Structure 1
Amino acid sequence: MTPKFQRRTLCASLALTGIAALLPAAARAAPLPEGPINFIIPVPPAGGTDLTFRALMEASRKHLDRTVVVLNLPGAGGAVGLSQAAIKPANGLFLNSYTSEIFTLPVFQPLTFSGKDFRPIIMVNEDPACLVVSADSKYDSLESFLAAARAAPGRISVGNSGFGNIWHLSAAAFANKAGVDLLQIPYNGSAPTVQALLGNFIEAFVASPPEVLPQVQAGKMRVIAVMADKRSAILPDVPTLKEKGIDLSIGTWRAIGGPAGMSDEVVKQLHDGFAKGMQEKSFTDFMSSRGLTIRYMNTQEVSAFVAKERPQFEALAAEIKKTAKP
């Protein structure tokens, strides 16, 4: 190689380096193929899962340098959407909400997917379960609710947003720990569950505090217990089950995931984009206004968390399956 050619090569290399430094991070390191990201939410619109992820997708668009298309594919407690998500290409353009239902739904019925078909990317949110009644309910406390349940086994109706999902499991775990027999009524999502309570079709239901906060503030509903280690920041006057002598702490956690075959490079790019989105004021303000709790975990942390949570949720689902029927 001649000195002149060496100088030209060096200059060209330096020029390329300078140009690369001026490019956005997403353009410089682009393991993601071109095209929009499709994000599957396996529950109906308007619930806590839908609201959380729609807000985050909007906040993360500029950091991912591409359009994000959100698709609600509800049905069978989330099984319909997750079945579709499990067979998508593992190229990073097809993602989904990653929640405990990925592990619990296959316990209740034969499905085309299992937890092994998905890979978590980032943890976004966590909220406890709570027991809700209408504002004019005769159950003005947890004690009165339990007294009625013990007096009429299997007759107090408790709704949830889908058979086999976290609120069904939470209600069943609560009944088991409290030593009562409740009539579980599944609905297709949180919105119809809310309407069922307001219409007096059920006597109570289980959800997260943020999902019922607007109705509580409007004087239409009352939360009589929170299933957490400590009281909810948005419902500070509501006791926990543990305060009432019932040793149970359970709730939902919401992460972003995708097909298990995604490469480490793709996962890192997605994680970094969503992590920046979680710091956007538009997202933090939205979550705060709704009372939704932000809980960040990176890919390694959420993977370890899932490895610990998965057997516990699978065991709970298996126990419930012995007596519960869809």
Structure 2
Amino acid sequence: MKSYLFRTAAFALAALAMAPAGAQGYPHQRVTLVTHSSPGGGSDVFLRDLARHLGPIMGVNFTVENVSGGSGAKAMAHVAKGKPDGSIFYATTPTYIQTSLLSKPDVNYTALEPVAIVFEDPEVVFTRADAPFKSLTDVIEHARRNPSKARWGAATPASLERIALERMSRKVNVKVPVVPHEGGGDMMINVLNGTLDIGVGEVQELQSQLQAGKVRILAVLSDKRLATFPNVPTAREQGVDISVRKFRGLAAPKGVSPEAAKALEAGLRKVMADPAFKKSYTDSNLVPTLMGHDEAVRFTNEFAGDITQTLKELGVTGK
């Protein structure tokens, strides 16, 4: 009998040792990651790449769900209705704050609880490879000479990219329609077919088109040039005083389980050090900026305050 019990206990310990690390440390085997972005857009690419690397580390099956519409309002409402048990998360960017401030949806960013800030994602201005524009200056001069033909593109109406282009048009004193889209994938189509002169996005979502030689980056909307594109000047170097800061993170329904939040943070810290994932996000020019729950909450509140002030300065919202 003792021999049988010993063999049974040994088998159980062996089974536990072989189980995925996350099976014991995370409360769910299946987790949904929601984005307002269309397939191929920045948040969609971010989530799918994260899920591919994070899943095996945590022993969790991550599924990406695209919920488009309302500049992120539908996706926010969808996640807010979920259980705060760590089974569903929303891919956060400045868009979900700006949508809340501009369109005042029934469910806004405050219905979600920041769980982590994972990356900062530098923004770039790009055009199709066969466009006549070789610099940001060329784009601006074209808009001045052809006010009825110039078209600039951004993602959702409340996106950071949209606000950046509106700021740019004011600073250089040109009136250009900034055409919003449901996501970066939709915008890319219109840049490639010549409907738009330029688009604004992240290198991550441009990767396939850059590798195919179909698009060209004209400017970086950051304080410094990108290490992977050292010959591309910043907007400021081209005389346009614009710099934006975009983050990528995860939020859960309000009241998220502390155990789930801690387990997710632990998984994120492991995956950020994983060589394969590190190569992937480095190649995409993502800057690792991992913040856990408490720090993410503080960061989001401060960011919302800054965006509120920017919108007032642009005259978009009331004083």
Specify the TM-score bucket, using the shorter chain as the normaliser: 0.7 to 0.9
Tell me by how many angstroms 1:249 deviates. 1.1
Matched, 1:129 2:137: no
* Alpha-carbon distance in structure 1 between the residues aligned to 2:313 and 2:77: 24
- Residue 312 of structure 1, aligned match among 295, 300, 306: 306
Matches within 5 A, 1:57-206: 57-153=51-147, 155-206=149-200
Which sections of structure 2, spanning at least 5 residues, go unmatched? Answer: 1-8
Alignment check: 8 A CA contact 1:54 1:70 kept: yes
* Alpha-carbon distance in structure 1 between the residues aligned to 2:129 and 2:53: 36
Which sections of structure 1, spanning at least 5 residues, go unmatched? Answer: 1-14
Q: Could you report, residue by residue, the CA deviation over 1:44-96 in whole angstroms, capped at 9, with x for unpaired residues?
A: 12222212211212222244333222211122322221221122111111111
Counterpart residue identity of residue 262, structure 1: V
User: Which residue is equivalent to 1:4?
Assistant: none
Deviates more, 1:86-95 or 1:171-180: 171-180
Tell me by how many angstroms 1:303 deviates. 2.6
Deviates more, 1:93-102 or 1:215-224: 215-224
SS in 2 for 1:322: coil
Deviates more, 1:216-225 or 1:83-92: 216-225
Q: Could you report, residue by residue, the CA deviation over 1:273-308 in whole angstroms, capped at 9, with x for unpaired residues?
A: 222222223322322343433332233333332222
User: Which residue is equivalent to 1:225?
Assistant: 219
SS in 2 for 1:205: strand
Counterpart residue identity of residue 267, structure 2: G
Distance change >3 Å, CA 271–CA 151, structure 1 → 2? same
* Alpha-carbon distance in structure 1 between the residues aligned to 2:135 and 2:22: 53
* Alpha-carbon distance in structure 2 between the residues aligned to 1:264 and 1:177: 45
- Residue 259 of structure 1, aligned match among 253, 259, 264: 253
* Alpha-carbon distance in structure 1 between the residues aligned to 2:148 and 2:291: 40
- Residue 276 of structure 1, aligned match among 270, 279, 282: 270
Deviates more, 1:36-45 or 1:132-141: 132-141
User: Which residue is equivalent to 2:6?
Assistant: none
Matched, 1:250 2:244: yes
User: Which residue is equivalent to 2:30?
Assistant: 36
- Residue 290 of structure 1, aligned match among 284, 288, 291: 284
Tell me by how many angstroms 1:192 deviates. 2.1
SS in 2 for 1:240: coil
Alignment check: 8 A CA contact 1:129 1:227 kept: yes
Matches within 5 A, 1:200-219: 200-219=194-213
SS in 1 for 2:237: helix
Alignment check: 8 A CA contact 1:127 1:293 kept: yes
RMSD over aligned Cα, in angstroms?
2.7
* Alpha-carbon distance in structure 1 between the residues aligned to 2:85 and 2:93: 21
Counterpart residue identity of residue 59, structure 2: D
* Alpha-carbon distance in structure 2 between the residues aligned to 1:182 and 1:213: 27
Distance change >3 Å, CA 128–CA 289, structure 1 → 2? closer
Deviates more, 1:155-164 or 1:309-318: 309-318
Matches within 5 A, 1:45-64: 45-64=39-58
Counterpart residue identity of residue 204, structure 2: P
* Alpha-carbon distance in structure 2 between the residues aligned to 1:63 and 1:131: 35
Distance change >3 Å, CA 148–CA 78, structure 1 → 2? same
Tell me by how many angstroms 1:320 deviates. 5.2
Tell me by how many angstroms 1:256 deviates. 1.2
- Count of residues in correspondence between the two structures: 304
Tell me by how many angstroms 1:262 deviates. 0.9
